[in-house]
Amino acid sequence: MSTMVDLVIRDALLVTPEASRPGAVAVDGGRIVAIGRSDAMPAARRVIDIGGRPLIPGALDVHTHVREPGFSHKETWATATAAAAVGGVTTIFDMPNTNPPTGNAAAVREKIAIAARQAHVDFGVYGYVGETNIGDLRSMADAGASAFKLFLGSDNPLVPCPNDGAVLDAMAQIRQTGLRCTVHAENTPILNWRGAQMKAAGRDDLSAHLAQHADIATVEAVQRIALFSEWTGCKIHIAHENCRHAVPVIAAAKRRGVDITAETCPHYLLLSMDDAEQAGGNALRVKPPVREAGHADALWAALLDGTIDMISTDHAPHPAQEKHRASIWETSPGFPGVETSMRLMLTEVAAGRLTLRHYVKLACEAPARAFGLWPRKGALVVGADADLVVLDLNHRETVRGGQFQSLGKVTPFEGRETIGRASQTFVRGTLVMDNGGLAGAPGVGRPLQRP
Ligand code: DOR
Ligand code: ZN
């Protein structure tokens, strides 16, 4: 018996964390309905032969700053999700430091509505955790927040850092929603004190930013939030892990059974302060900072041994004029990432630093599992959403920010040669990127269903 399905992608190399094997995938109604030999697929309205190229689940990036509402001169939902589609990312999670911040149920609903009109890929929305909205956390989850974001170490008045008493109360509430809380783990008083010292000393260069964000500031905050997680039972996720001294703290928490996951980003794995000049001086500013040479090796080791669970990007676009300022304190922190992450990591695969299967675990399976989405997302299995990415492992290209879909054009990876990229991206069976160009219409992307 054979019924007509929407799509078959045949002559693929199906790559999962467990295996790489030749085969094909059949898609109907946006879901994977069959996986097997290319000659055993049902008839389809559309058949794509990918000539033996790898086919992987679309990547998830659980840390992006889309900027709308409030900062559409930096990025929009259309441009951020176009960048994701080009980058082989089929699900993004958006951070709540917008204007208004995503701090109550109405703001969650409003952001989802703005996003749904524009999105090229699926999306989750983070709810902000503050001192004044602890009573709103449950209704934010009910309104569709996919996770929560706690800024420890923020000086952004839109999303202030709550005191530790409020954090404990909030975590008790979040525990009841079953959602995970992602944490920007830095100690605010240390940052404030050291920042004031640097400014008083007249220092305004990138090294002053690094000195402000001392290693101990993140080690302490990771330690504290792991303890709070253990105490309250609230699942946590350490955002943008960047410091070799925090790795053993995460490892120790995992060993004693704390439900803690962690991400790191390509800029912490591939850059150090030694790259500042090449990256455009102050343009390398990001919070937390890219540190001295020596941290990256420890982060790689932690990524490969599972202490760090996944790759994200902290995609944080800003206009060029905000990235090229004389004073570090006036320079906006962060840069776009969702468009280049897969290219940069595939380049490391080509160099033999990790296997493609391991990359699929770090970019697809692990984020989906941590945020309750697996195996609907991040898996090549029957029943999963047909979020699929075809890879061209031989594609060589130079990173050029000017060519980005993102409105953020300043990247510290400018000029870097990459090997390998996503050549086609499908979101629930719809082609959204083909050969590096956008293929789908805005509005294909949908909000994630509550895990
Ligand atoms: O570098 C950063 N940029 N760190 C943050 O925590 C926020 C982000 C942004 O929104 O630009
Ligand atoms: Zn961020």
Q: Which runs of E-coded beta strand occur in 366-447?
A: 388-398, 417-427, 430-434, 437-438
387 CA from centroid of ligand 2 (Å) = 24
Longest CA–CA span in the chain (Å) reads: 78
264 with 286: CB under 8 angstroms? no
215 CA from centroid of ligand 1 (Å) = 18
333 CA from centroid of ligand 2 (Å) = 10
Residue 377, in any domain of the structure: no
Atom 4 in ligand 1: which residue has the minimum CA distance?
287
Residue 450, in any domain of the structure: no
- Which residues have CB under 8 Å from 1's CB, separation 6+? none
Atom 10 in ligand 1: which residue has the minimum CA distance?
316
64 CA from centroid of ligand 2 (Å) = 6
355 with 444: CB under 8 angstroms? no
Residue 448, in any domain of the structure: no
Regarding whether 366 and 233 lie in a shared domain, the answer is: yes
Residue 358, in any domain of the structure: yes
Q: Show the tokens assigned to 22.
A: 């030749």
> Which pLDDT belongs to residue 89?
99
Q: Which atom of ligand 1 is nearest to the CA of 332?
A: 11
From 157, 181, 166, 177, select the one nearest 97 (Cα to Cα): 157
Q: Closest-lying ligand to the alpha carbon of 153?
A: 1
Please say which residue of 346, 370, 394 terminates a domain: 370
44 CA from centroid of ligand 1 (Å) = 45
Pocket test for ligand 1, best of 63, 64, 65, 183 (most atoms within 8 A of CB): 65
Q: Closest-lying ligand to the alpha carbon of 333?
A: 1
Q: Which atom of ligand 1 is nearest to the CA of 184?
A: 6
From 122, 117, 116, select the one nearest 89 (Cα to Cα): 122
63 CA from centroid of ligand 2 (Å) = 6
Residue 273, in any domain of the structure: yes
Side-chain-facing half-sphere of 194: CA atoms under 13 Å: 18
- Do β-strands 5-15 and 388-398 pair in parallel, antiparallel, or remain unpaired? unpaired
From 290, 159, 181, 297, select the one nearest 235 (Cα to Cα): 181
- State the CB neighbour count (10 A cutoff) for residue 95: 25
161 CA from centroid of ligand 2 (Å) = 14
Atom 5 in ligand 1: which residue has the minimum CA distance?
287
Atom 6 in ligand 1: which residue has the minimum CA distance?
287
Q: Closest-lying ligand to the alpha carbon of 331?
A: 1
pLDDT in tens, 116-144: 999 999 999 999 999 999 999 999 999 99
Pocket test for ligand 1, best of 67, 94, 97, 126 (most atoms within 8 A of CB): 97
Q: Closest-lying ligand to the alpha carbon of 334?
A: 1
Regarding whether 403 and 285 lie in a shared domain, the answer is: no
Regarding whether 410 and 296 lie in a shared domain, the answer is: no
416 CA from centroid of ligand 2 (Å) = 23
Q: Closest-lying ligand to the alpha carbon of 158?
A: 1
Regarding whether 103 and 12 lie in a shared domain, the answer is: no
Domain count, the chain: 2
Q: Which atom of ligand 1 is nearest to the CA of 285?
A: 1
52 CA from centroid of ligand 2 (Å) = 37
Regarding whether 397 and 292 lie in a shared domain, the answer is: no
> Which pLDDT belongs to residue 451?
65
Q: Which atom of ligand 1 is nearest to the CA of 286?
A: 1
Residue 444, in any domain of the structure: no
338 CA from centroid of ligand 1 (Å) = 14
In the block, residue with structure tokens 């902290």: 314
What range defines the domain where residue 428 resides?
5-55+384-438
Regarding whether 360 and 235 lie in a shared domain, the answer is: yes
Q: Which atom of ligand 1 is nearest to the CA of 318?
A: 11
CA 389-303-411 angle, to 5 degrees, is: 65
The one-letter amino acid at 174: I
> Which pLDDT belongs to residue 1?
45
Q: Closest-lying ligand to the alpha carbon of 213?
A: 1
Taking 50 as the pLDDT cut, the residues of the chain under it are 1
Regarding whether 416 and 338 lie in a shared domain, the answer is: no
- Do β-strands 5-15 and 54-57 pair in parallel, antiparallel, or remain unpaired? parallel
Regarding whether 28 and 67 lie in a shared domain, the answer is: no
188 with 163: CB under 8 angstroms? no
Regarding whether 262 and 115 lie in a shared domain, the answer is: yes
Regarding whether 416 and 299 lie in a shared domain, the answer is: no
pLDDT in tens, 388-426: 999 999 999 999 999 999 999 999 999 999 999 999 999
Regarding whether 398 and 289 lie in a shared domain, the answer is: no
Q: Which atom of ligand 1 is nearest to the CA of 333?
A: 1
Residue 446, in any domain of the structure: no
- Ligand 1 residue neighbourhood (C-beta within 6 Å): 65, 97, 184, 286-287, 316, 333-334
